[in-house]
Amino acid sequence: MDKDSLSALLFIREFLGFNEILVEREMADTVEKKLNELKEEVLKCKKCPLHQKKTNYVFGSGNPYARVMFVGEAPGADEDREGLPFVGRAGKLLTKLLKEIGLDRDRDVFIANVLKCRPPGNRDPLPSEIKACSPYLIRQIKIINPDILVALGRFAAYFLSGKDKIPLSKLRGRIMESVFGPKLLVTYHPAAILRNPGRMHEIKNDFRLLKKFLETEVGEGK
């Protein structure tokens, strides 16, 4: 169902007491169906050379109806092996930071990356790879339609904010506009915190800001 028909149905529900479950089921069908169709597409992608050396594509995981969507850089060795995002050491830290603000990574958020295949030896993504792969991320954002995106690290931050000349330390720590619709919170990559634990209090502050945002902003029908 497209957004216009959905808002028409929501209007009818609101004013004529229409059956709520019908609307929600219709909505569920489209979000899950579209996300699965997109996943099928990614799982056979050959748009850049990264597919040749990967073990698994890492599409993303979590709740398709989440109000929060996290975006990392690219799969690492553990993610490549398991086909799931943020399952290695950085992922454990992310899971812990979420838990500390009362969020469960499977129930409350969706997690994806800018690149769906691992760059060899965890090197930085190339501009050509970001160009080839990012349309999938944009489609994930459109389908999931979260209230807020959280960019983990500079590749996600620059892509989602459209500001690539500003240091990460200046972009982080505030709720801003993304170029794709939802609000945006930029923070450090958990792997960078593991390398530089002195920044732990900053990432924790950013997560607290996320919590505050979720408590004070009313979700759009979620």
Binding stretches for ligand SF4 (CB under 6 A): 42, 45-48, 50-51, 57, 115-117, 129, 132-133
74 in contact with ligand URA (CB under 6 A): yes
Sole binder of ligand URA in the list 76, 125, 146, 182 (CB under 6 A): 76
Q: Which is nearer to ligand SF4, 46 or 201 (CB)?
A: 46
CA–CA separation, 117 and 58 (whole Å): 6
Q: How far is the CB of 195 from ligand URA (least distance, A)?
A: 12
**Minimum gap (Å) between residue 45 Cβ and ligand SF4:** 3
| Among the listed residues 85, 119, 125, 146, the single contact to ligand URA using CB under 6 A | 85
Give whichever of 42 and 184 is closer to ligand SF4, judged by the CB atom.
Answer: 42
Closest CB to ligand SF4 among residues 114, 203? 114
Residue span binding ligand URA (CB under 6 A) among the ranges 10-18, 67-75, 124-132, 170-178: 67-75
